[in-house]
Every structure is written in structure tokens, then in C-alpha cells.
């Protein structure tokens, strides 16, 4: 892959909306991605392997629990800093951002919000430092968009719970030490359980042959009569709203992350359009290429404004789940369209690993599907504005 010459677009001077701390956090993440991710990520994506050596660096830039209080090892940052870190990481690769999203919003968040003090003390500092990696088991082979139908279940055996079932498409599963697993009790109520690698009957086979998110490890979680200690149940929230509450936080991070992927594709195509000569002039001089670039920067700028505003609402505790759905859906769609147009602007070079665009393009096929598909988020917005539920 070529040297990373990324220059972030800021067409509406959005930096003026950021505090010094936001810029400091973002610039540190940006430099780290240039130094540690860009030079290696194409190889790891080609090999379909997660680069384990970047775990410590992710912890150092605050990517594991950016908004978790410092007393538990988190970075204690606000929601805009969290978003900016996700933006920068996904500018490097969506799969790397996935690992950070899952660790922060789908593992640390439920332990922090729904766990007791012993669980917080036991797990959060090790997750924040990257000593332990976590995963989040909600999706099942027969229950993806409708997680409420899950069949994974546990029975109260007196001194422990007995867990049975299977989860599918789980990011980080093949190497995670800790899994936050959503399962039904004997009354059909959904609870979160912390399952640890090494518990008898718990296996995590890897999912192979992905054309997307190749630098992120995906796998299954299989529970065959797993004895889970009673102290591993998250006591402070149950019902489908518990896992969906974690998704709010992760979807918000993805909304920022998608901007990062889009910025990288735009910046690459812009640079290429000035360097590539056809018919005796740079291709950027042709109106059709300028149309593509003009539309890209317009869409990026709109997404930046939407997402910054969402961050302000989240900092004030006012963002609704439906507002988060709108940003996730809009921004991922924006990024996937920009990746596609940018790839065309590079002609044949666009399909190679010399440039990041094709990798972003393929990654975004997962991002537009996970954490609620494009159509599910459209239906959430539809339900919000009409008051009519298309899912029932
Ligand atoms: P519904 O009856 O509407 O709701 C059940 C309960 O949940 C509450 N609720 C929420 N709470 C917090 N945050 C949200 N976003 C919430 N949305 C709903 C709701 O108020 C209700 O509470 P209560 O107290 O009344 O019981 O549920 P439904 O079964 O009709 O389904 C609704 C639907 C389709 C919107 C939802 O299930 C959904 O979002 N489906 C998409 C599934 C999904 O996003 N899965 C993601 C799996 S994790 C993942 O993909 C990680 S990828 C990681 C990475 O690598 O980055
Ligand atoms: P389905 O739910 O079967 O949907 C198939 C199609 O039907 C979609 O187009 C969908 O939009 C459409 N559809 C479904 N219901 C409706 C409806 N009511 N109206 C209209 N259209 C509808 N899950 C986890 O729990 N943890 C993870 O860490 C995780 N990581 C993932 C990593 C990757 C790389 C991928 C690809 C997925 C991951 N997922 C994870 C799973 C992801 O959340 C699901 O794939 C997603 O929620 C969609 O579920 P599904 O694949 O079963 O599709």
C-alpha cells in the first residue's frame, strides 16, 4: 500500500465547533492511525487476520471505553471525543473500528451501566487497557433483525445458571476472553450474562470466507450446557431494551466512523484526480470527475454537521434512539456511495490494494448491515415520524 498522505476535509470550518480537547484527542488518534494502522492494514485484510499488535495502541489513544469514567480505567471523555476517535480509526479501517466499538459500547458499556460494582471493578480496567478483549452476543442464526425472538436460554440450577444456545456473526469472538451474552430466562425475559473463555462447553469457532471486514475476526459463540456463575448475571437491567441501549452507543460511534471511511475515499480520489493525466490533462479537470468530487464533499459536510449536532445532543443526554438510527443509516449510505464513486475515479488502480478505497468499499457492506440494517433503520425513522410500528 502507498504511503498514507491523508488530509482531512473540513469544508465548513467545523474545527471551530470543536474544543481544544476534541482536537487533541482526534489528532492523536489520526497520527496513531497513520503510523500504526495504514502501513500494515492492507496486508492483514488480504490475510483475513486481525492485527493483534495494535491492541495496546488502541488502548493508549483511548479507543477502549473513551467515555467510561477514569476510575474504571476509561478515558473519561465526552461523546464528541468518542465520535472523533471512531472517525479516525475507521478512516484507517472499519474492522479496526469494529473491535474498538464492540469493546467500548457493547462490552464495557453494559458492564458499566447494567453491572454491579464488583463486576465493574473486575472487568472494566482490564478491558480498558486491552489486557482482555470482549465480544457481544446478540444475533443468532435465526434471529438477526428481530433479536427479541432469540432462543439462547439459561436455567437457574440453584448455585449456577446453565446456558444453552448459539450466537452468530460475533465480532472479536475467536479471540475474546469475555463475552456479554444475551439470553432468555425460564420466563422468557432477556438478561445479559458475562461468559468467560475457558468455561466448559463454551466454544468460539471462526467464520471464514468473508469478502468484507477481513481485518476483523468474526465467529460464533456456542453454549453447550455452560455453567455460568450466578455473580456473572448483569443485575441492573433486563428485557430487549438492555442490549438495544448498548446498540445506541455503538451506532452513534459508527455514524462518526463512516465519515472517516468516506473522508479517506474522497481524499484519495481528490489527490488522484490531480495526478492522473488522460487526454493530456489531469482527470480532475473533466466536469464529470468534478461532479463526483463536488457531490462527495457536499455529502461529507452534511454528515459532519448532522453527527456533530447528534454529539451535542448526546452530551446533553437528549439524543433519541431514532435520531441515532438516522445518523447511522445516512452516514453509512453516504460512505458506501462515496467509496463506489471514488473507486471508479481511480479506474483500474481502484481495485488494487495499492489504495484503500476497495477495502473501505467492501468493509462498508458489513457496516451497512450490522448494528441494524439500512432498511431496519429506515423503519425506525418511519415509526418515529408516523407513530405506526411496521415491525408488529
Ligand atoms: P421493540 O418492541 O420495539 O422494543 C423492545 C424494547 O426495547 C426498547 N427499545 C430500545 N431501548 C433502547 N435503545 C433502543 N435503540 C431501543 N429500541 C427499542 C423498547 O422501548 C422496548 O422496551 P420495553 O420496555 O417497552 O420492553 O422491539 P422489536 O422486537 O419490535 O424490535 C425492534 C427493532 C427491529 C428496532 C430492533 O430489534 C432492532 O434494532 N433490530 C436490529 C438488530 C440489531 O441492530 N442487531 C445488532 C446486533 S450487534 C451488532 O451488529 C454488532 S456489530 C459490531 C461491530 O463490529 O461494530
Ligand atoms: P436478517 O435479519 O435475516 O435480514 C435479511 C434482510 O431482510 C435484510 O435486508 C433486512 O433489512 C431485511 N428485513 C428484516 N426484517 C425486515 C422487516 N421487518 N422489514 C423489512 N425488511 C426486513 N451481531 C452481534 O450480535 N454481535 C456482533 O459483534 C456482530 N458483528 C457482526 C459482524 C459482521 C461482519 C456482520 C456481517 C454482522 C455482525 N453482527 C453481529 C450481526 C448483525 O447485527 C446482523 O447481521 C444484522 O442485524 C442483520 O441480521 P441478519 O444478518 O440475520 O439479517
**Closest of 367, 371, 372, 373 to residue 93, by C-alpha:** 367
Q: Tell which residue, 128, 25, 90, 83, has the closest CA to residue 319.
A: 83
Kindly identify the ligand whose nearest atom is closest to the C-alpha of 377. Answer: 1
Distance 191 CA to ligand 1 centre (A): 14
How far from the centroid of its chain's Cα atoms is residue 372's Cα? Answer: 12
Looking only at the bridges linking them, the beta strands covering 134-137 and 178-184 are: parallel
State how far the Cα of 299 lies from the Cα of 297, in Å rounded to an integer. Answer: 5
C-alpha–C-alpha distance, residues 220 and 207, integer Å? 7
Buried b (16+ CB within 10 A) or exposed e, 283-299: bbeeeebeebbeebbeb
Mean pLDDT of 27-55: 98
CB 139 within 8 A of CB 167: yes
Look up residue 233 and give its DSSP letter.
Answer: B
Cell of 73: 480505567
Q: How far apart are CA 357 and CA 372, in angstroms?
A: 24
Phi, psi angles (nearest 5°) of residue 168: -135, 155
Is 129:64 a contact under the CB 8 Å cutoff? Answer: yes
Tell me which of 36, 220, 341, 371 is the catalytic residue. Answer: 371
Contacts of 13 (CB under 8 A, 6+ apart): none
54 CA to centre of own chain = 16
Distance CA 378, CA 373 (A): 9
137 lines ligand 2 (CB under 6 A): yes
Q: Is the CB of 218 under 6 A from ligand 2?
A: yes
Q: Is 44 in the pocket of ligand 2 (CB under 6 A)?
A: no
> Would you say residue 1 has pLDDT above 90?
no
Question: What's the rounded mean pLDDT across residues 25-34?
Answer: 98
Phi/psi for 22 (5° steps) reads -55, -45
What is the helix (H) or strand (E) element at residue 92, kind and residue range? Answer: helix 79-92
pTM value?
Answer: 0.98
Integer Cα distance of 237 and 192 in angstroms:
8
125 has a pLDDT exceeding 90? yes
Cα of 320 vs its chain's centroid, Å:
19
Ligand 1 centroid vs 372 CA: distance in angstroms?
Answer: 8
pLDDT of residue 23: 98
DSSP for 185-217 reads -TTS-EEEEEEETTSTTEE-PBP---SSSTTS-
Task: Output the residue whose Cα is nearest ligand 1's atom 8.
Answer: 241
Q: What is the mean pLDDT of residues 268-284?
A: 98
User: Residue 104 and residue 134: Cα distance in Å, rounded?
Assistant: 9
Q: Percent of the chain scored above 70 by pLDDT?
A: 100
What mean pLDDT comes out for the span 183-203? 98
How many angstroms separate the alpha carbon of residue 380 from the centre of ligand 1?
10
Measured CA to CA, the distance from residue 350 to residue 327 in angstroms comes to: 28
- The residue count for the chain: 392
Mean pLDDT of 256-270: 98
How far is C-alpha 359 from the geometric centre of its chain's CA atoms? 16
Q: Which ligand is nearest to the CA of 254?
A: 1
| pLDDT for the residue numbered 37 | 98
Res. 192 pLDDT band, cuts 50 70 90: very high
156 lines ligand 2 (CB under 6 A): no
* Residue of 8, 13, 6 lying closest to 305 (CA atoms): 13
Over range 331-347, report the average pLDDT. Answer: 98
Pocket probe mutation, ligand 1, options 241, 317, 366, max atoms within 8 Å of Cβ: 241
Percentage of residues in the chain with pLDDT exceeding 90?
Answer: 99
Mean pLDDT, the chain, as a whole number?
98
**Rounded Cα gap, residues 33 and 321, in angstroms:** 30
Evaluate: CB of 247 within 6 angstroms of ligand 1.
yes
Report the nearest-CA residue for atom 39 of ligand 1: 372
pLDDT at 135 over 90: yes
Residue 280 has pLDDT above 90, yes or no: yes
pLDDT value of position 144: 98
Say if CB 127 and CB 177 are below 8 A apart. no
Q: Is the pLDDT confidence value at 137 over 90?
A: yes
Tell me: pLDDT of 117 over 90. Answer: yes
Four-residue CA torsion sign, 284, 289, 290, 295: negative
Quote the CA–CA distance of 192 and 213 in Å, as a whole number: 26
Arithmetic mean of pLDDT, 165-181: 98
pLDDT of residue 367: 98
Determine the pLDDT at residue 33: 98
Mean pLDDT along residues 98-108: 98
Which whole number is the average pLDDT over 360-374?
98
The rounded distance, in Å, linking the Cα atoms of 337 and 343 is 10
- pLDDT given for residue 83 in this prediction: 98
Residue 371 annotated among the catalytic residues of the structure: yes
Amino acid at each position: 500500500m502507498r504511503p498514507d498522505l491523508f488530509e482531512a476535509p473540513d469544508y465548513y470550518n467545523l474545527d471551530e465547533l470543536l474544543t481544544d480537547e476534541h482536537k487533541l484527542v482526534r489528532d492523536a488518534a489520526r497520527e496513531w492511525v497513520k503510523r500504526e494502522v495504514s502501513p500494515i492494514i492492507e496486508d492483514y485484510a488480504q490475510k483475513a487476520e486481525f492485527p493483534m499488535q495494535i491492541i495496546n495502541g488502541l488502548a493508549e489513544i483511548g479507543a477502549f471505553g473513551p467515555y467510561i469514567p477514569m476510575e474504571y480505567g476509561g478515558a473519561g471523555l465526552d461523546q464528541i471525543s468518542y465520535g472523533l476517535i471512531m472517525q479516525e480509526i475507521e478512516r484507517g479501517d472499519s474492522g479496526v473500528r469494529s473491535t474498538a466499538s464492540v469493546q467500548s459500547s457493547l462490552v464495557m458499556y453494559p458492564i458499566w451501566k447494567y453491572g454491579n460494582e464488583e463486576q465493574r471493578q473486575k472487568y472494566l480496567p482490564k478491558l480498558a487497557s486491552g489486557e482482555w478483549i470482549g465480544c457481544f452476543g446478540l444475533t443468532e442464526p435465526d434471529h438477526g433483525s428481530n433479536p427479541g425472538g432469540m432462543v439462547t436460554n439459561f436455567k437457574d440450577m440453584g448455585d449456577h445458571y446453565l446456558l444453552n444456545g448459539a450466537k452468530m456473526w460475533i465480532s472479536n469472538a475467536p479471540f475474546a476472553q469475555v463475552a456479554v451474552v444475551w439470553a432468555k430466562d425460564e420466563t422468557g425475559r432477556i438478561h445479559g450474562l458475562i461468559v468467560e473463555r475457558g468455561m466448559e462447553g463454551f466454544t468460539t469457532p471462526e467464520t471464514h470466507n468473508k469478502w468484507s471486514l477481513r481485518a476483523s475476526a468474526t465467529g460464533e459463540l456456542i453454549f453447550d450446557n455452560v455453567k455460568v456463575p450466578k455473580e456473572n448475571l448483569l443485575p441492573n437491567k433486563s428485557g430487549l431494551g438492555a442490549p438495544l441501549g448498548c446498540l445506541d452507543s455503538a451506532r452513534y460511534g459508527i455514524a462518526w466512523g463512516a465519515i472517516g471511511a468516506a473522508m479517506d475515499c474522497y481524499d484519495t480520489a481528490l489527490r488522484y484526480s490531480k495526478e492522473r493525466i488522460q487526454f493530456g490533462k489531469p482527470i480532475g479537470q473533466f466536469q464529470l470527475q468534478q461532479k463526483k468530487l463536488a457531490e462527495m464533499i457536499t455529502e461529507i459536510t452534511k454528515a459532519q454537521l448532522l453527527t456533530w449536532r447528534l454529539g451535542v445532543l448526546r452530551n446533553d443526554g437528549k439524543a433519541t434512539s431514532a435520531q441515532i438510527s438516522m445518523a447511522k443509516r445516512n452516514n453509512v449510505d453516504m460512505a458506501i456511495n462515496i467509496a463506489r464513486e471514488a473507486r471508479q475515479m481511480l479506474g483500474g488502480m481502484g481495485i488494487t490494494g495499492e489504495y484503500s478505497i476497495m477495502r473501505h468499499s467492501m468493509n462498508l457492506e458489513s457496516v451497512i448491515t450490522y448494528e441494524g440494517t439500512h432498511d431496519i433503520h429506515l423503519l425506525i425513522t418511519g415509526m418515529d415520524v408516523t407513530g405506526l410500528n411496521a415491525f408488529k
